[in-house]
Structure formats: structure tokens, C-alpha cells
Amino acid sequence: MMNKPKLYTAFIVFLAYTSVFACKYTIREIGFSTLSKVTYVLYRIDENSSFFPKQLEHNFAESNIVGRGLNLIVDEDNPVIKFAKDQKLVFPAYVLAAPDGRMIELSKTDILNNALSSPVRKQLLNYLPEAYASVILIDGKNILENQLASELINKTCKSVENIMPNMPKQVDVGPNMIQISNKEFEQEKVMLWSFGIYEIPDHPIALVVYGRGRIMGEKISYTQINEDTVYKYLSIIGADCECGLDRKWMLGYQMPLNWPKPIRQNLSNTLGFDVDNPMVLTEMSRILSIENKVASDPDGISFEPLVFDLDKEFGDVPEVQHTESDRTESDEIDSGKWVLYSLLIFIILTGFGAYFIVKRTKQNN
């Protein structure tokens, strides 16, 4: 059994450690959590009953889709019924509804093959638990623009991979790009619908995806692709969770996605902790509840200037001019860190000093 002096010393060291390293999560890691889970509802609408097939329910057990049954007569005031009638659907019919009220009709084939799975989502499922993030490029109607957007995004992914060693937490695999051609648009329609893309765009669009199928920020237009917006969004993913970023950037909107147990287990092994553990979720929730002192725009987070300054060494991003207020805030942060580290050293030395004093007293007695 550990004697009291050793126990006290261990406890002091533990308190010191937790006070300095209270937050060990990045935005990427919070993105894997079930906090702010986006839940889609798949409705089965019938004229004679309001049940949902158990077999289909079983297929969605490990996803963010739940099944519900609606009766055409009993539930006639439901907006889903109105949508089905407006679309002149043949009953029984299936409608997938997003949390914001958007709806899409699904055939039985869509339900089995496209509701939760598609070629791109299979790639994401295999890639995201191990990797930093993915950038999905949806081709537009202009071949040259698609090519230029692809080259820019690949270059951006490489730039982010170069600065990853300087980020708070290390990730072994850098970001990649997944390109959706015009021919592949239809088989990805459910995933793209979930992000508000309903048809092949005139110009290429990019989506930065991280964590459990979450989108960072908003859809990125072709113009924004040329303005390094992809780089900015990717940089945010590697930031410390207590960077002061607005909560909506911490937990991006999710696509419909299956997240089976083997994936969760592999993720736990990779991260070194279970992201769904109640204690971990409690800590993450505490972090997200902290009042933000910056605007909702992510340009203001403390991590991002660090990324740009580091990446400047590679010649990919123009120099960022810092104002006097920026320097003052940076000096305050550095000063705070030194105070915190000094306190840690003081507590540890005090603990060891107390231990040896007690030990010497016992020997003298």
C-alpha cells in the first residue's frame, strides 16, 4: 500500500498535471464525438398503417438515421405528408428528413444502397478515423475549372500536411482530396443533399470533412477555393479545443453516415481514448459551454495565425500583417503560459520537498 507522503506527492503531481493539461482535445477529436449529433429521420408513409419495418430499423442501428412510420390519414397535418402529396409519391413511400426540415424522396433501392452508404462515404469511413481530414471536390460543368480546383486543393492538402508536426496533437495521415465527377453525382445524391447540393453545380464546390462525417464551415465556392478558404478550414481542424472558436465551428453539420463498432474501436485505439466515454464527453461538453470571446468567423482564433506563420516558410501563403492589439494579445498568452508552467514546477517541487521532510522526520523518530 502506498504510504501517505507518497500518496500526497502523487496527488499534488496529478493536480498540477490536470491543471496545465486540462484540455487534451483538438477540434478534430471533438468532431468524432456524439455531442450535437445530427439526426435524420426516415419516414415510411402508408395509407393503411403507421409502422416502420424492423429490418430497416436494424440497418440504421449504428447510424445517425432513425425510422418513423406515418399514416396518410391520421398524420395528415404532418409536413412530411404534405411533401409526399406535393411530390405525388406512390404509397407506401419513404422520405428522408434533415433536422432543418429539408426532405428528399428515397426509393427502396436508395434506402438500401444510398441512404447511409456510397463510394465516397465508404472512403471517408476508412480514412477519417486515421487521417486529419478530407476535402470533397464536386466537379462543376467547366472542365478547366475542375482541373484548376483539383490542383489547388491537392497543393493545399500538402501544405497542411507540412505544418501538421507543429500542431497541438499529431496525426499520422494528412488530408486528402476526393473528387466527385458529373457521372458520379447521382450515386452521391443523398450525401450531397445533406449539405444542400441538389444538382451538378455550374462551378466546382469543395467541402472540408472531418471527424464523424462533419463539414467544417460552409460549402466552398470556386472563387473561395482560389482564395485559400480550403486552407483556412483545414487549419482550424488541427486547433486546440479551447482556442475560443465559436461552437458551430467545433461541431460541424453531419452527413448521414453509418458508424459501426469496429470503426469506433479502431478510432479509440488511434486516439488513445474512447471519444464516447461519458467522462470524455463531459469534459468536451464543458469546453463547448465556455463563453466565446471572439466573433463567429474563425479568422480570429489564436491557432490560425500560428499556422500561417509556419506555412510562410514553405512559400505557399502570403505574409500576414499583425496589428498592435494582436501582438499584445499574443504576449499575454505567452506570459500566461510561463506563469502556468512556473506554478507547475513550484507545486511539484513543493510536493517532493514535503515528501522528504516527512520521510526525514520518520527516520529521526
| pLDDT tens per residue across span 66-100 | 999 999 999 999 999 999 999 999 999 999 999 99
* pLDDT exceeds cutoff 70 at 201: yes
| pLDDT tens per residue across span 209-255 | 999 999 999 999 999 999 989 999 999 998 876 555 666 667 889 99
| Strand boundaries in 194-256, DSSP class E | 205-210, 214-215
The helices-and-strands tally (H runs, E runs) of the chain is 15, 8
Q: What is the DSSP letter of 95?
A: E
Ranges of each domain in the chain: 40-112, 118-314
Least confident stretch, 3-7, 64-68, 197-201, 279-283: 3-7
| pLDDT tens per residue across span 111-156 | 988 899 999 999 999 999 999 999 999 999 999 999 999 999 999 9
pTM across the whole model: 0.73
User: How far apart are the C-alpha atoms of 175 and 48, rounded to whole Å?
Assistant: 50
Report how far apart the first and last C-alpha atoms of the chain are (Å, whole number): 21
Mean residue pLDDT across the chain = 79
Please tell me the predicted confidence (pLDDT) of residue 280.
Answer: 87
CB 258 within 8 A of CB 212: no
Identify the H or E element spanning 125: helix 119-127
> 344 phi and psi, to 5 degrees?
-60, -50
Higher pLDDT, 51 or 191: 191
Higher pLDDT, 302 or 238: 238
Please tell me the predicted confidence (pLDDT) of residue 359.
Answer: 62
Please tell me the predicted confidence (pLDDT) of residue 54.
Answer: 87
Please tell me the predicted confidence (pLDDT) of residue 338.
Answer: 52
Percent of the chain with pLDDT over 90: 50
